[in-house]
Amino acid sequence: MALWLAALLLMALAYPFYVVHRQTLGEHRPIRHTPAEWGADYETITHTASDGIVLRGWWVPGRGERAVLLLHGKGGDRNGEQTGIFELGRWYWERGYHVMMADMRGHGESGGKYTYFGVREHVDMLRWIDALDTKRRYRWALHGFSLGAATALMMQQKAPGRFTWVVADAPWIDFATLVKKELEKRAWLPPFTYPYVRWVAETFFGQSFKIADNQARCQRLCGRPVLYLFEDEDTLLTPYQRERLETLCPRAETVRFAGVGHVEAFRDDPKAYTETLKAHGL
């Protein structure tokens, strides 16, 4: 009996390691479509992160001074079939923007194994932009989806005044609440296991749940040029996340898209989505 109890305890302690590993894995896949399909000249660009990981993306020259960095979500990439980010890049380019599209670490054709919920990704992207735009010729906007949206918010906070606009499509606000919901949904772990899971993630996988949380960040960005987009049928982010944002920043500019799921608003209705962007000066 004692051996069985010891084995069960060991399994209970080990299982969260497996869960964290699975939930923080990125997703690599080859890039099939390129901006040549838009009729655009483009450059394949790379950047080596501070820990040696090589990131890959595109630079698509436009006209004038406006530039935009597009950031995919977890499990996505530059081609972004769930979000339609590739076609969104075309839309920005046709409006004259210089377009930067990147595979974040652990995704697409970039190196790395894990995702860090924006904590390392925002540093990667800030340094990449600085390396690309050394003379600060461009007026940058950021447009991110889910993980990419959280990354964009972190970039805006870290480099105030660097970005003219941030579009955050489906960012989490309260990270702990999101993690607890996902642990129960995907791993059958009740909320009381959260402190142990967090300890495992931070001690053995290099995560930082404190930095990944956007509540204080959204308060600090209140009144700054950030457009928050939410989808009414999002099964990842409950309405609580949007409501929490509106509590923390009553002045937050938010738009809700009806009848679509997580980060699917542009893909399902590009006209309504881009009209929203144009209405906000993008």
Pairing of strands 163-169, 226-231: parallel
Select the more confidently predicted residue: 11 or 164: 164
Taking the C-alpha atoms of residue 64 and residue 50, their distance in angstroms, rounded to an integer, is 31
Listing DSSP states for 158-197 in one string gives HSTTSEEEEEEES--S-HHHHHHHHHHHHH---GGGHHHH
pLDDT, mean over the chain: 95
Radius of gyration of the chain (CA): 19
pLDDT digits (tens, 9 = 90+) for 45-97: 999 999 999 999 999 999 999 999 999 999 999 998 889 999 999 999 999 99
Tokens encoding 57 = 């993306």
Quick check: 113 and 106 in contact, CB under 8 A? yes
Pairing of strands 98-103, 43-48: unpaired
- The size of the chain, in residues, is 282
pLDDT tens digits, 169-228: 999 999 999 999 999 999 999 999 999 999 999 999 999 999 999 999 999 999 999 999
Each residue's pLDDT tens digit, 116-174: 999 999 999 999 999 999 999 999 999 999 999 999 999 999 999 899 999 999 999 99
Q: Read off the pLDDT band of 41 (50, 70, 90).
A: very high
Task: Note whether 39 and 118 are within 8 A (CB).
Answer: no
CA distance 77 to 20: 21
Adjacent-strand bridge partners of 168? 144, 228
DSSP β-ladder status, 54-60 and 98-103: antiparallel
Q: Enumerate domains of the chain plus CATH numbers.
A: 2-279 (3.40.50.1820)
Which residues, 6 or more positions from 156, have their beta carbon under 8 angstroms from its beta carbon? 142, 162, 163, 166, 221, 224, 226
- Euclidean distance between CA atoms 84 and 106, whole angstroms: 20
